[in-house]
Structure 1
Amino acid sequence: MADLVTWLKYLLLGIVQGVTEPIPVSSSGHLIIVQRLLGMEQNGLSFEILTNTASLIAIIFIFRKDIKDLIVGAVRYLQTRKTEYRTDFMFCVYIIVGTIPAAVAAVFFKDTIERIFTSVHTVAISLLLTGVALWLIRNLRGQKRDGNLSIRDAILVGLAQAVALIPGISRSGSTVIASIAVGMKQETALKFSFMLYIPISIGGLILGASDIAHDPNRSQLAFPYLIAFITTLVATYFAMRWFMGIMAKGNLIYFSYYCFVAGILLLILL
């Protein structure tokens, strides 16, 4: 019976991670809340890496055509220098530039940030700040497409992704908000946001591989971790598809309402 309860808890954690990873409400913040409600200890870095990897696989699958087109276009531009491939090449450059701030912050400050900012109170404040940011950009409709971006845009969005290391600050939310704020169209903002997610997640997986290998709970929690991995993978796929529809309609304001309600309830109840 105890095993069944544990499996159900990890099933719920996987669903929460998968649903909240693509949408602008902070997956890390929601995991902290759910673990608190379930009376669970923090699962450690290996659990975070495994579930983030599941989300990464789902997002790569969804954007597989965009990824292939960008890589092929960038390689052909390097080979031929034809202007028709320059947009793909520069988009790849912007992804690299935009990844640097979060990568540097993760290497030097991630442990400190997580040690200081893992309280439910911090998550509540972060959700409220995310709600305010979503509210401010609710009516913005930029004109920048893939070929109109700049190094400045990439740096600003990259800095926003670095801020999302704080639990409760949504990574997708911060990058989508920043992308829209610098003038990107909805579809470009969505694409750029999740192209930035891919290298930073791959980097986290590589750096955290040893944590998984040396996890003292690896054998005991192998099956619960597997349950969480599969549910995260499936939930991320469907949540991402849903979020793409929301972005296409420009309805980010609903996530602002959610963040306000969730943040206030956390401050009152927890």
Structure 2
Amino acid sequence: MGESEIIYIIKMIIIGLVQGFTEPIPVSSSGHVMIASEILGLGEQGFTFAILTNTASLLAILYIYRQDIVRLISNSIYYLKTNNIQYKSDFRFVCFIVIGTIPAAVLGIILNDYIAENVSMGTIAVMLFVTGIALWLIRNMKGIKGEGEISFKDAWIVGLGQAVALTPGISRSGATIISAIAVGMKQDTALRFSFLLYIPVSLGGVVLGFSDFLNEPNKSDLAIPYLSAFIATLFMTYFAMRWFMGIMKNGKLVYFTYYCFIVGTLLLIFF
């Protein structure tokens, strides 16, 4: 393995770490991957790479929320079988996750190519400012709604927030958490709903893009760099998510407002 190949692998690991760290937090992982790729001279990462790193982030989130997922699925099945009121709250929560998934799923299919072809560093900078402003507006909000108190309207609004986040620079976690808090959810409920909402959308993207992954002409040459990025993304997403859960618990989302403003300003100056 030559020096240039080793350097390329290191760069891909860095991109994986960036993806993993920024996926859970409200600063736009897709925007940061584009920024990091530009700085490292890698150019735009292909669809196959995006699928691979998103799969790694998805696995980390699935592991963190594995108990919630098992509980929601099993209790929903029990409710459908027995109509026992004890399990109704979890069944409704699953229904709202499905409802919240619809906007991003539909718009993602329709607009994905257009968005990919019309994104610049300027776009990312502006969208980071938008994310920062939204985080500032909800910084002091303390919701009262738990899982059993979410409505159809709440789920739909949060789903629309996730759809807006298809644009690089608009954070998916940020848009959904901001929307959830804005409609009155408690911060822990907003966090859980946001990332359980992430799972079906991300899983759908992986399934739809799997054929592109299999048809990647340079799989053998890219195996080691991509595997390195995958592992880096997997572990970094896990640790970043655990860290972000602590941030949410302490109500310190406002820190990300400052970060979005700083990075957005630097992009406008240097790119």
TM-score range, shorter chain: over 0.9
* 1:70-128 superposed Cα distances (whole Å, 9 cap, x missing partner): 011111111111111000000000000000000001111111111112x1111111111
Partners of 2:116 and 2:44 in 1: CA distance: 11
Q: Does residue 84 of the first structure (1) align with residue 86 of the second (2)? A: yes
Q: Distance in 2 between matches of 1:115 and 1:151?
A: 34
Structure 1 runs of 4+ with >3 Å offset:
none
Q: How does 1:39-58 map to 2 (within 5 A)?
A: 39-58=41-60
User: 1:217, CA displacement in angstroms?
Assistant: 2.4
Structure 1: unaligned runs, 5 residues or longer: none
Secondary structure of 1:22 counterpart: coil
Once the two structures are superposed, residues 208-228 of structure 1 have per-residue CA deviations (whole angstroms, 9 ceiling, x without a partner) of 001101112222111100000
- CA–CA separation in structure 1 for the residues paired with 2:214 and 2:175: 32
For 2:123, the equivalent position in structure 1 comes to: 122
> 2:37 maps to what in 1?
35
Tell me if 1:15 matches 2:17.
yes
* Partner residue in 2 for 1:101: 103
Question: How big is the shift at 1:249?
Answer: 0.7
Distance 1:243 1:145 in 2: 20
Aligned to 1:163: 164
Distance 1:107 1:200 in 2: 11
Task: Report the counterpart of residue 173 of structure 1 in structure 2.
Answer: 174
What residue in structure 1 maps to residue 200 of structure 2? Answer: 199
Counterpart in the other structure of 2:143: 142
Show CA shifts across 1:13-68 (max 9, x none).
01000000000000000011011111112121110000000000000000000101
SS at 2:219 equivalent = coil
Partner of 1:237: 238
**RMSD, aligned α-carbons:** 0.6
Given candidates 51, 67, 70, the residue that maps to 1:68 is 70
- State the 1:129 CA deviation: 0.5
Task: Report the Cα offset of residue 205 of structure 1.
Answer: 0.5
TM-score, normalisation: structure 1: 0.99
Distance 1:232 1:253 in 2: 25
Letter matched to residue 267 of structure 1: L
- State how far apart, in whole Å, the 2-side matches of 1:72 and 1:60 are: 16
Whole-Å separation in 2 of the counterparts to 1:103 and 1:121? 26
**1:218-253 Cα shifts (integer Å, max 9, x gaps):** 221111000000000000000000000000111000
Unaligned runs of 5+ in 2: none
1:260 aligns to what? 261
Give the letter for the 2:42 counterpart: M
1:132 is the counterpart of 2:106: no
Q: Which amino acid aligns with 1:141?
A: K
Taking the aligned partners of 1:75 and 1:215, their CA distance within structure 2 comes to: 39
> What SS does structure 1 have at the residue aligned with 2:204?
helix
CA–CA distance in 1 between the matches of 2:41 and 2:56? 24
Query: Per the alignment, in what secondary structure is the counterpart of residue 221 of structure 1?
Result: helix
User: What are the superposed Cα offsets for residues 128-175 of structure 1, whole Å, 9 maximum, x if unpaired?
Assistant: 100000000000000000000011001100011011110111100100
Q: TM-score, normalised on structure 2?
A: 0.98
- Residue 5 of structure 2 is matched in structure 1 by 3
